[in-house]
Every structure is written in structure tokens, then in C-alpha cells.
Amino acid sequence: MEYRTLIVETTDRVCTVTLNRPDKLNALNISAKKELGELFEKLKSDAAVDAVIVTGAGEKAFVAGTDIGELTSLDKESGKQFAAGGQAVFAAIENLGKPVIAAVNGYALGGGCELALACHIRIAAENAKFGQPEVNLGVIPGYGGTQRLARLVGEGKAMEMILTGDPVDALEALRIGLVNKVVPPAELKNTCREMAKKIVSKGQFAIRLALKAVHVSQETNLTDGLEVEASLFGLCCSSEDFKEGTAAFLEKRKPVFKGR
């Protein structure tokens, strides 16, 4: 399928999705959101893809936010629908069922920070900047920022970022747990690919259930979460990958996983 705002490339079971509006710092317009939603719906059932990397075109920005020009006509009802629409796209990314790594190559502001938050792992280039500057425009984050940022970095730091609108640089993002790793810009692509390749080399049956189990930890209490973990652990034990993984270890050979 041809995309107007995205570049989509799959090699070795890893799909790289590049937001491609570099002249607008990859700001998320309606087309980009629509195309992202359609793409992630397709990736869910794409048997050729086991992991996804999301990044931005150019050297300056991951995504500099929602396209501000498209905000001006919103009112109470259409604003609510606008936010819900963006939330649905980011939920499709979070719930893809396959690992999604954000390769943050510059500004990740507003919807860009929220896009990174919807991914499962974030790796930042040294020049990355993360922020929720919506209050500067008279609004609040609407694509999950108030919820996912607070869950990831804690309420106090999320409050500070959202109430002041001030961005944090890559090292501060690392310090507060907003990103997993910071690397020189020239190494970003390769670092993300190496991590994706490592994940893809494991038994995908377990990878998918691990994603699910960790995700549940953000939405439930410890007792219920542990119950879900035990059930999913049991499900893993019924998989071919589990039999292969344990047999391969005992036979001192590399496992050949089938993802089932």
C-alpha cells in the first residue's frame, strides 16, 4: 500500500515506520494519524512482521506534535472526538501485540511525546527533546499524555512537564525513566535495529504474552496482575516454543522457535 505521510520498510521481520513530513517536523496531521491507524491494523495480522520501529524523517524531529493548524476549528464536542480519535490510533500501537520501539531522533513534543509513550520501548538520540507543551496553546495533552506519562515517570514529574510545558533533554529523559537508552544520533538506527533483532530472535509466543502481562501491570492491582501472570505462564508452557526452548538448552544447541 502507498502512504502519503509514512515510509514503511520491512526487513528481517522488523518493520520500520518513518513519519515523513520533515518540512513540518513530522507534525501529525489528519492524514498521518489515519495512515498510522490503518498501518498498525494491518501490522497486527502481518505474519512477516514480529517487531516495529517508529521514527521520524530528517535529523531534527521525531514528531513535533499534532498539526497545530488543524486544532483551531475544534469546539467542545469535536475536540473530544479529535482526542478520542488520536487515542484510538495510539492504543492500536500499544496493543499491537508485537513490540514497538520508538527511535526518537529529535523533537518529541505534544502528540510526538505521546506517540513515543504509546510505544513499548523508547531509545533516544542525544539531540532528542521530550515535552508536553500543550498548555502553551491553551489545551492539555489529548492523546494519552496525562495518563501514560504519569504512569511512566510518576505523577510529580508528569505534573511538572505538563503544567510548565517545559521540555526535557535526552539525558534528563533517561534519568527520569522516560527513555530506555540514549545514543549518539548516528547510532540510533542501528541500536534500535539490534534491539529489535534480538527480540525477534526469541520465541514470539512468549514475547507476545510477556507484552500482555507487563501491560496488565499498568492497569490492575498486584493480586489480579499476578493471577494473569500465572495464567499466561501456563499458556507459555503449552507452546511448542517452550518445548523447543527448554530442549535446546538441555541439548546445548540454539533453539529454533516457531512462534507457537
Contacts with ligand COA, residue ranges (CB under 6 A): 24-25, 27, 64-69, 107, 109-111, 133-134, 137
Q: Report the nearest approach of ligand COA to the CB of residue 203 (Å).
A: 40
Active site residue 134: yes
Spatial CA neighbour of 108 closest among 132, 80, 142: 132
In the residue annotation, 187 being an active-site residue is answered as no
CB of 24 vs ligand COA, minimal distance in Å? 4
The three cell numbers locating residue 104: 526518537
| Catalytic, out of 114, 219, 229, 251 | 114
Whichever of 51 and 178 has its CB closer to ligand COA, that residue is 178
Rounded least distance, CB 121 to ligand COA, Å: 23
Residue with smaller CB distance to ligand COA, 112 or 203:
112
Beta carbon nearer to ligand COA, 86 or 203: 86
The smaller minimum CB distance to ligand COA, of residues 141 and 245, is found at 141
For ligand COA, give the closer residue by CB, 64 or 96. Answer: 64
In angstroms, rounded to a whole number, what is the distance separating the alpha carbons of residues 157 and 130? 12
**Lookup result for grid cell 509466543:** 205
Q: CB 82 → ligand COA: shortest distance, Å?
A: 11
**Helix (H/G/I), strand (E/B), else coil: 88:** helix
Sheet holding 181-183, edge to edge: 6-11, 14-19, 51-56, 100-104, 121-125, 181-183
Whether the CA torsion 132, 19, 13, 232 is positive or negative: it is positive
d(CA 115, CA 170): 16
Contact 59/25 with Cβ under 8 angstroms? no
Smallest separation (angstroms) from ligand COA to the CB of 53:
22
Helix, strand, coil abundance in the chain, percent, nearest 5: 50, 15, 30
* Active site positions, annotated: 114, 134
